[in-house]
Amino acid sequence: MAGASKILVIGGTGYFGRRMVRASVALGHPTFVLLRPETLASSDYSKRRHINEFELLGVNILQGDFNDHSNLVRCLKLVDVVVSVLSADLHHEQYKIIKAINEAGNIKRFLPSEFGFNVDRVTVLPPGKFVMDIKIQIRRVIEEAGIPYTFVAGNSFAEYFIDVLIRPHEKKDMVTVFGTGKTKGAFGNSDLEPGGRQQLMPSEQ
């Protein structure tokens, strides 16, 4: 595919990561997934199923650990774009990814694990503030390092929160609506809109 980028997804077996991997393959990009040794060796049915799916899709499986800097650099040298979809408890590991990207010197674009609110424009109370603060710090480190980046602020994914916030399994006769009930909102499922797709094919400039 002309203009296709070699894309590395870090966190590919997670809820959002699986969808990112499928989207990358569907768009015709040579796709790589970095998996920890313990993930590859896991007997967990869910993880094995996802890994098997990736192999059937033609995804290149790379083994790596955030603490093995030299191996991480070697993995990065194989790709053009890095997409991090790490869960919140692993966001701090992105400092190691940034360090490796700097040393590799070939990455054309880095998409850190964001995909939620624009953390530079919202005020969040604890405990959510802790997650937002790490994202803000990661942004500043990326900017200071001069790495080409895209911060994707999708606000929220309806499918991700529907069970927790809307609780469709509950049988209620009444629903409390705060405010006038006329406020409009935008919700997404798992689609990557055209602007996001373009970020996976950075220009050579």
Q: Kindly list the catalytic residues.
A: 135
Q: Report the distance separating Cα 205 and Cα 193, nearest Å.
A: 23
Largest distance between two CA atoms of the chain: 59
Using only the alpha carbons of the chain, give its radius of gyration. Answer: 18
Q: Which of 79, 76, 116, 113 is nearest to 94 (CA)?
A: 113
Residues counted in the chain: 205
Quickly count: other Cβ atoms within 10 Å of residue 65's Cβ.
15
Quickly count: other Cβ atoms within 10 Å of residue 163's Cβ.
10
User: What string of DSSP letters covers 79-135?
Assistant: -SEEEE---GGGGGGHHHHHHHHHHH---SEEE-S--SS-TTS----TTHHHHHHHH
Question: Phi and psi dihedrals of 159, rounded to 5?
Answer: -65, -30
Q: Which residues have C-beta within 8 Å of that of residue 7, sequence separation ≥ 6? A: 24, 29, 30, 31, 32, 79, 80, 81, 82, 83, 200
